[in-house]
Amino acid sequence: MSVEAFPLSNLFGWRGRARTCPVTGLVVNRESERLVRWNGVVAIVFLLLGTIAALLLALTRWQAVHLLAPIWFYRILTLHGMNMLIFFILFFEMAILYFAGPVMLGSRQPAPKTAWTGFVLMLAGALMTNATILAGRADVLFTSYVPLKAHPLFYLGIILFAVGALIAVILFFAALVIARREKSYEGSMPLVTFGALTAAIIAVITLLHGAAIYIPTFLWSIGIGEVDPQVYRMVWWGLGHSSQQINVAAMVSVWYLLGALTVGAVVVNQKISRWAFVLYVLFISMASAHHLLVDPGLGPAWKIWNTSYAMYLAVLASMIHGFTVPAGVEMGMRLRGFVRGSFEWLRRAPWSDPGFSGFWLSLVIFGFMGGITGVTQGTEQINIIVHNTLRVPGHFHVTVVGGTALSFMALTYYLIPLVYRRRVRFWRLAKWQPFLFAAGIVLLSMSMTFAGSFGVPRRHADITFPQAPFTLEFPPVVDLLMAGIGIGGSLAALAVLMFVAIAVGSVFFGRPLDLANLKPGEVGVPQGVLRLPPQTYPAESSERAHGVGTPGTVILVFVFLAVFILYYFTNWKILSMIWKMG
């Protein structure tokens, strides 16, 4: 009897312009590899731009510093949102699609010229949008709510970017069809590819919403037609929120992949994990409605349905992954002999490997902070004390940043040796980078969340309201919380700058790596690359591990549920105090 850990090998077939990775056994098509490389490089460039903007915003939010004047605050806030939530994330996700499709399945890249056309459209659109923002012609923030009007090039750039992304998604679907027809892999589609398929389907839904609202808004910006503000808000959030759900599906896929690469994590139950991804496709986009819970133009029945009964099925999907991913890691470690007590597997995990530490911190931050705050804030009644306060960015900074961005950074530490075939430069720095980033984001997000609990607005340049016809003073603790935003944001920005230096230095100036002749203890190579965890285990190890099960993960799940219940009902108590009930 043997236990299958993860289908990384047995993915052979097409041998055209390809190489076989001596570490993973994957057949890597040259065109797909180039597309992964350049989408990844460009993603990091936009991450750098968004991080510089984030640092300026954090130092402005810190009232003692208050760096930017109001007009530049809103301009930089627009720049930050577009680069972090759209350009960086989607470029990296396109790299994931090119990897999870042709590379994972060992097939050829369909229509390489078309793929590069899509890449050029995405890059041109992103540059056009950024140039328009920096020129002061699009101070409309990330949401760009009508009747705020930006220069037509702002909308045109986003449309071009979306068309390029849609091309990449369509080519991903084509790669799946080609791989199946040419039988380049055996058995079921790998779980990582299945998760990427989920992200691609959600991407189509997202991009269609974007086309449905940005094309008429572009025409309106040049004087053709009108756009109803309420319709704009409802349709736009099908883009603005759903684009972040692409992140969730892609992030979970990365978790499964990194678990396998770093510690030989097993997939506890393939069918359950796949059905959880299906629930994302069916229900996760409905969560967009929680941005509209205070809008008077929408009825309570629509709001309650979308933000409770239907959305909870997407929450169920995340909770399934929240168990299966750490349970897979625990089982993988126990299969390797770490069977003592409930948490030896976690204590003895490779914490010095930035791929593992980044992945695990991403999982914990997203689950404990992002998941709990998201479900709570998405409740219709509680939302009234949350909406447009700093609690909202406090939430999405632990989902999109602490979750998705950190998982992408962790993956990069494995892409550098496996795809770029370079050693990771500044290796000692790389070991600490995920911890510094996680600490900064946690401090930033908690400070935002607690400041929002005192009613601090999320988008106001100066919470002292110096020119307002009224006076408003927040409690003294708010000053400390705003300082926490500045300090946490600065730490996170420093960690991103470290990551960019590591990634750029490795890709362009790193020492070439001969994957076929790796030696134990080589500096700048993650331990999972030096010694890929086994994909099968002896019967004795399997029986011993399965006899113990995953008690550590079960304990973590109950801790999560306890924190969830406490936070959720604390918010109901606060609401009852505001309504003066009971």
**Residue 558, token pair as written in the block:** 């109950």
Q: How many CB atoms lie within 10 A of CB 63?
A: 17
DSSP state of 183: T
Q: Which domains are delineated in the chain?
A: 28-576 (1.20.210.10)
d(CA 293, CA 305): 11
pLDDT tens digits, residue range 114-157? 999 999 999 999 999 999 999 999 999 999 999 999 999 999 99
Cα–Cα distance between 308 and 310 in angstroms, integer?
Answer: 6
Taking the C-alpha atoms of residue 295 and residue 390, their distance in angstroms, rounded to an integer, is 19
Give the pLDDT of residue 472: 84
Residue 313 φ/ψ, nearest 5 degrees: -70, -35
At 170 the pLDDT is: 96
pLDDT at residue 301 in the model = 85
* CA distance linking residue 573 with residue 51, whole number of Å: 37
Task: Determine the Cα–Cα distance for residues 365 and 560; give it in Å rounded to an integer.
Answer: 11
Q: Which residues of the chain have pLDDT under 50?
A: 1-16, 582
Contacting residues for 245 by C-beta, under 8 A, at least 6 apart: 202, 206, 280, 284, 285, 287
Q: What is the DSSP letter of 138?
A: -
Residues in the chain: 582
Summarize pLDDT for 217-229 with one digit per residue, the tens. 999 999 999 999 9
**Cα 339 from Cα 330, distance rounded (Å):** 9
Cβ-contact 429, 492 below 8 angstroms: no
pLDDT > 90: percent of the chain:
69
Q: Provide φ and ψ at 462, rounded to 5°.
A: -145, 110
C-alpha 122, offset from chain centre: 19
Is residue 536 within 8 Å of 2, Cβ to Cβ? Answer: yes
By CB atoms closer than 10 A (0-12, 13-18, 19+), residue 531 is: exposed
Model pLDDT, residue 518: 83
3-state percent helix, strand, coil for the chain, nearest multiple of 5: 70, 0, 30
Amino acid at 388: N
Give the amino acid at 246. I
- Identify the bridge partners of residue 29 per DSSP, sorted by sequence position: 18
**Model-level pTM?**
0.93
- List C-alpha distances in Å: 260 to 234, 480, 533, 546: 40, 42, 7, 18
Cβ count within 10 A of residue 19: 14
As a whole number of angstroms, the distance between CA 179 and CA 467 comes to: 63
CA–CA dist 466, 278 (Å, integer): 50
Assign residue 97 a region (left: φ > 0; alpha: ψ between -120 and 50; beta: otherwise): alpha
